[in-house]
Structure 1
Amino acid sequence: EKLGIEVIPGIELSTSTRQLDVHILGYFINWRNQEILHYIRLFQQERLKRAEKIVAKLNSMGLKLSLDFILEKAGAGSVGRPHIADALMEEGYVLSYDEAFYKYLGNGKPAYEPKYKISTVDAVRLIHRAQGLAFLAHPGMDLSNEDVTQLIKIGLDGLEILHPSHNETKINYFYQLALKNNLLVSGGSDYHGDRKGNATIGNYNIPYQFVIEMKKAVGKSRLLVNQNFQKI
């Protein structure tokens, strides 16, 4: 508040449905909600287990990395494949972040280990129980139009239409799809660091009207929840 910056509490969850990798965004969640905090701790534990398995696979191939070294790179954050890629580069096993994924860490590669996921339906319900809004992240990146149409039916509140992977055609398509299904829209840079030398943070301007509409929806949702509690 002192800096004049508005912060929206949110979360991105990796989920699966019908063997699809689906990312769900939660906006305006109650970040003190005990259930969502429980799941965050669970995800952190599972990410650590995954890192241990990946390091063991790399060690078996003769690439000597220690888990402690990788955890140092993760710092206070949750450990993930990007930190392992950083360690591979630092130790001279690969020359770039992309090479680390292409040779060892990417899907189907020798050191790949699947990520722990919950179902997409469970993720949407979890966000709703935390009084948040559930959006489908970057629908045009890995999903077909038919996949998106089917996912809308599980109770999504909106679609992330503005994203680095979306060209103007995709943006317009998903905007019209959102209007047709009475859904909200959002957008973002999807910034996860600039390891690839393509820092997108600050390069995407999102209309503030998107936020205003989300706030209206959150207000209505929480009013209904409070009314239901009063009736019990």
Structure 2
Amino acid sequence: MNNSFQKFNNADMHLHTNFSDGSLSPYNLIRLAYTNNVELVSITDHDTVNGIIDLNNNKIEGENYIYLLAGVELSTNYSEDSHVLGYGDNLFNYSFATHFEKLKKGRLNRESIIIDKLKKLGINITSEQIKGTNDNQSGGKQTVGRVHIAKTLIKYGYVDSIDEAFNKYLADGRPAYVERPLHSIKETVELLSQNNVFPVLAHPKLIGLNINKLYFIIKELKYCGLEGIEVYHPSANEDYQKQLRAIADEFNLVCTSGSDYHYTEDNLFPGSMIPSWGENMFSDISKTMERMYKLGVQAKKYYFAV
């Protein structure tokens, strides 16, 4: 085992801030993770790294520190929840800046079409109201998604919950649904891998495939540059984790862990699932860090005040 890479007992590599569809600012998310004894975090907002940039540009220096790994969660067109996590500082390169800008424009275009569809259904909300409802001091750098539209529908009395907004209007097959132009899952893995960003298949259970179909998808993605599978996720029970670990072992993929934290209201906090994930997770974290180190992907100490 290479002793040059950092070892961790508690790592949460899938977290969201208010720069996408989370509720906390990047700084407050870091503080919450630290309070929960998480040693390594990765902010993986949807289709943007602006939360990490904000964190680095607005440091409140202190003696406390946590290890921070640059990350992102990219949407793909395979299914509603077919996402790929990418890790590494190369996410800040120009090639990704242009990719993120295209994704942002796609989101804004979809927002406009959804607003028009809702209007035809007698629901009158505006882009300005969506921004006002979701004001998060992000300087306009938040990626706007359907969750933000759902929150606006709640604020103006059209629905009572985010689930109701999706079930009535925003989910696939509902009257205000709009598909977003996205890369395929293979193209997304290749984009990350070719730019020396570490690709991991996010929450496989949520993709909606049986384990046999998932096996062949992962086999194909391995040849596209896939490096890991998010085995430890709230959607995966112990039996499913075992099945994923077997696939990971066969294709020499690492197994990562992430709470997929979005909102405090979910009663699911950074690192909160880790005790239930057992001893295998600790060795898998070490294997992940070793693989990343060999590929030049490393977490860095982030100093802050509690």
1:196-207 pair list within 5 angstroms: 197-202=265-270, 203-205=272-274, 207=281
Counting only pairs closer than 5 Å after superposition, residues 96-175 of structure 1 correspond to structure 2 as: 96-141=161-206, 142-152=208-218, 153-155=220-222, 156-175=226-245
Number of equivalences: 220
Q: Which of the pair has the greater relative contact order for Cα pairs under 8 Å at 6+ separation? A: 2
In the superposition, relative to structure 1, how do residues 123 and 110 fare at CA in structure 2: closer, same or farther (>3 Å)?
Answer: same
Q: TM-score, normalised by structure 2?
A: 0.66
Compared CA separation, residues 189 and 20, structure 1 to 2 (3 A): closer
Q: What code does the residue aligned with 1:53 have?
A: I
Alignment of 1:23 with 2:83, yes or no, is yes
Structure 1 residue 105, shift from structure 2 partner: 0.8
Alignment check: 8 A CA contact 1:191 1:199 kept: no
How much does 1:192 deviate? 2.6
Deviations 1:124-168 (CA, angstroms, capped at 9, x unpaired): 111113312111111122222123212222221111011111111
Q: Secondary structure at the match of 2:82?
A: strand
Alignment of 1:60-75 (within 5 A): 60-75=120-135
Aligned partner of 2:76: which letter? T
Structure 1 counterpart SS, 2:112: helix
Name the residue aligned to 1:44: 104
* Other structure's SS at 2:102 match: helix
Q: Percentage identity across aligned positions? A: 31
Aligned 8 A contact 1:29 1:130 in 2: no
Residue type at the aligned position of 2:273: Y
Is contact 2:203-2:233 (8 Å) kept? yes
Counterpart of 2:262 in structure 1 is 192
Tell me by how many angstroms 1:2 deviates. Answer: 4.6
Q: What is the aligned counterpart of 1:32 among 92, 95, 117?
A: 92
Separation of aligned partners in 2, 1:131 and 1:211? 20
Larger deviation, residues 48-57 vs 204-213: 204-213
Q: Residue 193 of structure 1: CA displacement?
A: 2.6
Is 1:176 aligned with 2:241?
no
Give the alignment's Cα RMSD to 1 decimal. Answer: 2.1
- Residues of 2 paired with 1:71 and 1:85: CA distance? 12
Residue 29 (structure 1) shift: 4.5
Could you say if the C-alpha distance between residues 2 and 151 of structure 1 is closer, same or farther in structure 2, counting changes exceeding 3 Å?
Answer: farther
Runs of 4+ aligned structure 1 residues displaced above 4 Å come to 206-209
SS of the counterpart of 2:76?
Answer: strand
Give the gaps of 5 or more residues in structure 1: 224-232
2:293 maps to which residue? 219
Cα distance in structure 1, aligned partners of 2:63 and 2:98: 31
Query: What TM-score comes out, normalization by structure 1 length?
Result: 0.86
Q: Matched residues in 2 for 1:80 and 1:48: separation?
A: 8
Distance 1:43 1:52 in 2: 14
Gaps of at least 5 residues in structure 2 are 1-61, 298-306
| 1:48-93 deviation per Cα after TM superposition (whole angstroms, max 9, x unaligned) | 1111111111111111101111123344311111111111111111
2-side partners of 1:3 and 1:210: how far apart?
A: 26
Alpha-carbon shift at residue 221 of structure 1 (Å): 2.9
